[in-house]
Amino acid sequence: MPSWTISELAGRFGLSRTTLLYYERIGLLPSAHRSSSGYRIYHQDDLERLEKIRLYRAAGLPLQDIAKLLEEPRSPRAAVLEQRLAELGREILALKAQQHLLAALLKDSGQEPAELPIDKQGWVAMLEQAGMNEAAMRRWHAAFERRAPQAHLEFLLALGIGAEEAEGIRRWAVADEVS
């Protein structure tokens, strides 16, 4: 059976020895087996567990959530991942709002931003250039609203549209379908 020392395992994953020792101390990694000379030895199951830990860390999950997922991989998995996905959505919206604000501040100071974030006017202009009229845009919004209402709202907010106007667009998009 293949085995790795702590340095080999750390190198394989681009982590420090200290990180692996910390993971062991908090219980994310089980206590390593010891060689006859007292060195930590890791086996295939440790490697697979560390691969899961790295995957969850790459997804931005905190160590406490990773511990839950590793303890009970089936039951809380979807809830933990859904929660992280929702958190990311909120973070993205907040960053988009900051991006729009910074672009506006640059414009106010007389400087054009190197790259403007796509805003409502830019999006409408692109749709018009693609040959869409108001009726086609309404159908596009209505289809988006039907298929993914939360994603539609988040898209509108990411364009720098305020919450009240975004809700108005959503109502406008589906008004014909309701009547």
pLDDT digits (tens, 9 = 90+) for 70-104: 887 666 677 888 889 889 888 888 888 888 888 88
Mean pLDDT across the chain:
88
Residue 50 has a pLDDT of 96
Q: Give the ranges where the chain is alpha helix by DSSP (H).
A: 6-13, 17-25, 44-58, 63-71, 77-108, 120-129, 134-147, 149-158, 163-178
Is the confidence at residue 138, as pLDDT, over 70? Answer: yes
C-alpha–C-alpha distance, residues 102 and 159, integer Å: 14
Confidence of residue 177 (pLDDT cuts 50, 70, 90): low
β-strand 3-5 against 33-34: which pairing, if any? unpaired
Band of residue 172 on the pLDDT scale cut at 50, 70, 90: confident
- The model scores a pTM over 0.75: no
SS3 at position 27: coil
pLDDT at res. 82: 87
Q: How wide is the angle at C-alpha 25 spanned by C-alphas 23 and 31, nearest 5°?
A: 85
CB contact at 8 A, 46 and 5? no
